[in-house]
Structure formats: structure tokens, C-alpha cells
Amino acid sequence: MFNIYEDKLSNHTTFKIGGLAKIFQPRNLDELKQFLIDNKKNYFVLGNGSNILAGNYIRPIIIKTNLLDKIYKKGNIVCVESGVNLFRLIKFCADNGLSGLEALYGIPSSVGGAIYMNAGSFGTEIGQFVTSVDYLDSNGILHKKIKPKFSYRNSFFTNKNCVITMVRLKLLKDTPDNICKKCEYYFNLKKAKQPYNYPSAGSVFKRVGDVGAPIFIEKAGLKGLKIGGAMISDKHCGFVINVNNAKFNDVKQIICKIKKTVLKKFGIILTREIVVIGDKNGDNW
Ligand SMILES: Cc1cc2nc3c(=O)[nH]c(=O)nc-3n(C[C@H](O)[C@H](O)[C@H](O)COP(=O)(O)OP(=O)(O)OC[C@H]3O[C@@H](n4cnc5c(N)ncnc54)[C@H](O)[C@@H]3O)c2cc1C
């Protein structure tokens, strides 16, 4: 039968926060399809858990995609299953002299999560390279080779109840050596600017027009604010970091405090980028 087990989501999220959940790791598409037919809408898809704040009230079954891990190329098109992580995808591209994704090197994402969120960095977004995507809807029906629309941290898939399974990316030719150098360059920039040494879920808020949320957070004097085990990073105040065994509510309180203060001081409503699951009171905050 299905490979379902119980574990704390803190073991599956980069924030290292999250209560007990039932986790299903499909080993192939057929298994995933059958699961969706049997379970219909009672699921939540987890990629690498790098954009997730998880509470303790997790009701849906978590579909963890990491075993969907095939990757191959046809000319300059890379075909990659959604559970592959971006590090592996970009290394594969480098080995094969395929360039374009280097600025994303260092984002701790799965391919599926990157497509869902349209992950981006230093002016590059994954959506720019996508030629088509396959996904399974919640009735287990496979939609093949669709050409999704993307915008800033948003895609055709955002808030849609489906599982991205396969992605095709059209890339450019370059030498493996050049590609590796670019990856290293961008990853070093990231590590210099972002608190990679603490558990987090990346930037908590989306940009406001062209202005990054950290500008408002810093001007509001919130840099370094600590609640329980969570803290607004003083290296990059768009990140909330888990400095000491932070609880879901510590992070929630910090996020609410930021939103309230920025609204009061600047009249700006910040929108969350991170996805919240498992809050008994819902995620509308
Ligand atoms: C240190 C750090 C640095 C970061 N830097 C960046 C950055 O530079 N740029 C950036 O854009 N983001 C960044 N992030 C945020 C995060 O890595 C991205 O949002 C990433 O794309 C999320 O991918 P994931 O696989 O971890 O998805 P998850 O966090 O597991 O899920 C995110 C959302 O995608 C959905 N999802 C995941 N996989 C699938 C699938 N196969 N089918 C359907 N839906 C799916 C989930 O249901 C959820 O709604 C950073 C995070 C950290 C911790």
C-alpha cells in the first residue's frame, strides 16, 4: 500500500518548526495518481519545506515529493521531476553546459516549489526558462505539457490544489567552467547577505512594488526583535530566523508585530511570501 508514516514537520522544513503530520512519499507517478484518486482534496504538497511555517494542527496528509527525482535532457531542454532540488538541477545543467539558472543557485528549493512560487533571485526567475509543466489535479488526472503563466512570486499553480510532477526548461549553452563560476559567485553573494547559518523560511514578505519589505522593517526599528526563540535577522531583516528552538507562535507573533508596525508607521500592508499550514485559527493573518 501507500508509503505513509508519521513524523514531525520540523524534520521536513528549513525553519525546523512544525508538529506531527501524516506524510506520504510517492515513489512514482502511478502511486501518486492512485493516492489522489483515493484521497481527493485532503492533502498538502511539500517540496523541500523551505517556504513553510508549520503549526501543530496539521490535518491534511502531507505529500512529500522528494522521491520524484528523475532528470534528463534532450538537446538544450532539461526535463526534471518536481522532487529534484535546485542544487542538483543546477549541477546537472552545469555538467551538461546548460546555462540560465545560476542566479538561483543556493535557493534551498525543490523544482516543484520553485515553479509554484516562481522562485527568483538577482533578477532571474525560474519561470523565464519553463517551456511546459505536467501536473496531476486533485482527481488524479494528469495534465500534460501546459504552458503556465508566471509573475513575481506567483504562478498558474499558486493556490491551486494540484501536484506539479514534471517541468521542462529551455536553457542556453555555456561552458561548465563558466556556469560553475557564476553559481559560486551568486551563492557567495547570497551567503554574504542572508542568514544561511540559522533555520528560516527565507524572506517572510513579498516586495511592495519595487521596494523590498526589509526597508520598511528596518525603518520601523524592528531589526533584531526577538520573541521566544524567533528573531528578525539583523543580517537581513526580511528573514525571521529560528535562533533557539522557536515555536510556531513565536514566529507568528513576530510576523503580526511587523505587519502591525509597518502599517501604523507607513500605511503599507505587507503580504506574506511564506506559506502557513497547521494553524488551528487558519492562515488569514
Ligand atoms: C535560506 C533561504 C534562502 C531563500 N532564498 C530565496 C530566494 O533567493 N528566492 C526565492 O524565490 N525564494 C527563496 N527562499 C524561499 C524558498 O526557498 C522558495 O520559495 C522555494 O521555491 C520553495 O520551494 P520548496 O520546494 O521548499 O517548497 P515548499 O516550501 O515545500 O512549498 C512552498 C509552496 O509550494 C507548494 N509546492 C511545493 N512543491 C509542489 C509541487 N510539486 N506541486 C504543487 N505545489 C507544490 C507547496 O504546497 C507550498 O504551497 C529561500 C529560503 C531559504 C530558507
DSSP codes of every residue in 19-52: -EEEEE--SSHHHHHHHHHHHTT-EEEESSSTTE
Q: Residue 39 pLDDT more than 90?
A: no
Q: Residue with the nearest Cα to atom 34 of ligand 1?
A: 113
State the Cα–Cα distance between residues 159 and 173, nearest whole angstrom. Answer: 34
Residue 2 — very low, low, confident or very high, per pLDDT cuts 50/70/90? confident
Catalytic positions are: 153, 203, 273
Instruction: Name, in order, each residue with C-beta under 8 angstroms of 284's C-beta and a sequence gap of 6 or more.
Output: none
For the residues 15-28, what does the mean pLDDT come to? 97
> Looking at the domain covering 71-191, what would its CATH class be?
alpha beta
Query: What are the residue boundaries of the structural domains of the chain, listed by start?
Result: 4-64, 71-191, 195-277
Q: Residue 1 pLDDT more than 90?
A: no
Cell of 215: 526597508
Size of the chain in residues: 285
pLDDT (0 to 100) of residue 3: 81
| Distinct helix (H) and strand (E) counts, the chain | 6, 21
**For residues 166-188, b (16+ Cβ closer than 10 Å) or e, as one string?**
bbbbebeebeeeebbebbeebbe
Point out the ligand 1 atom lying closest to the alpha carbon of residue 45: 47
Share of the chain above pLDDT 70, in %: 100
Residue 190 — very low, low, confident or very high, per pLDDT cuts 50/70/90? very high
Give pLDDT tens digits for 110-140: 999 999 999 999 999 999 999 999 999 999 9
pLDDT (0 to 100) of residue 9: 98
| Å from CA of 62 to ligand 1 middle | 15
For the residues 192-221, what does the mean pLDDT come to? 97
| Å from CA of 64 to ligand 1 middle | 13
Pocket test for ligand 1, best of 45, 53, 161, 204 (most atoms within 8 A of CB): 45
H-helix or E-strand containing 142? strand 142-146
State the Cα–Cα distance between residues 16 and 49, nearest whole angstrom. Answer: 9
Average pLDDT of the chain, as a whole number: 97
Point out the ligand 1 atom lying closest to the alpha carbon of residue 51: 29
Residue 41 — very low, low, confident or very high, per pLDDT cuts 50/70/90? confident
Give pLDDT tens digits for 76-122: 999 999 999 999 999 999 999 999 999 999 999 999 999 999 999 99
Q: Does domain 195-277 have CATH number 3.90.78.10?
A: yes
Instruction: From 138, 137, 134, select the one nearest 148 (Cα to Cα).
Output: 134
Residue 236 — very low, low, confident or very high, per pLDDT cuts 50/70/90? very high
Pocket test for ligand 1, best of 50, 125, 233 (most atoms within 8 A of CB): 50
Pocket test for ligand 1, best of 25, 117, 118, 207 (most atoms within 8 A of CB): 117
| Å from CA of 228 to ligand 1 middle | 25
pLDDT (0 to 100) of residue 270: 98
Q: Give the CATH architecture of domain 4-64.
A: 2-Layer Sandwich (3.30)
Within 6 Å (CB) of ligand 1, which residues are found? Answer: 14, 44-52, 65, 82, 107-110, 112-114, 116-117, 119-121, 157, 163-164, 194, 196, 200-202, 275
Point out the ligand 1 atom lying closest to the alpha carbon of residue 83: 41
Point out the ligand 1 atom lying closest to the alpha carbon of residue 111: 25
